[in-house]
Amino acid sequence: MNRFSHWCIQGLLLILIMVSIGCQKPAVVPINLNNLDPSQDQRFIVKQYLNQAVHMVQTAQDLRRKSERYAQLFGPDSEWVTSAKLLEEFYINEAYDREKLAAQHVGVPSFRPRAVSLTTREGKE
């Protein structure tokens, strides 16, 4: 019986330790991408916005190919084609917005450019 109570106490302590570790706050404060505070990691924020812009341009290019396929399948005046073209335009506009946001963060005094390029499309900056 003594061994059983010893194991129970150890198990209870282990559970309490695990719960206390799990309930602690995260050590790293998440970065707010809308923050122009110079103390934030502006280079990281710029990279995030540029990555989003590139992803949106790729999505727009995929939608352009889909609209061409839909035009072959359903005709050029089909709702499928119109919808794909509208989505393509939306993603292109969002990509431009993300590039503008990245450019705003480049203008923050603490920004130090290191291998960050604002070019996400051919010939566009």
DSSP label at 51? H
Q: What does pTM read for this prediction?
A: 0.63
Structure tokens at 124: 């566009």
Q: With residue 54 as reference, give the H or E element that holds it.
A: helix 42-74
pLDDT at 69 over 90: yes
pLDDT one-digit tens code per residue, 76-123: 999 999 999 999 999 999 999 999 888 888 776 555 544 444 444 444
Q: With b meaning 16 or more CB within 10 Å and e meaning fewer, what string describes 18-49?
A: eeeeeeeeeeeeeeebeeeeeebebbebbebb
pLDDT digits (tens, 9 = 90+) for 7-64: 778 887 888 787 777 667 666 667 777 777 776 777 888 899 999 999 999 999 999 9
Place of tokens 């995260």: 26
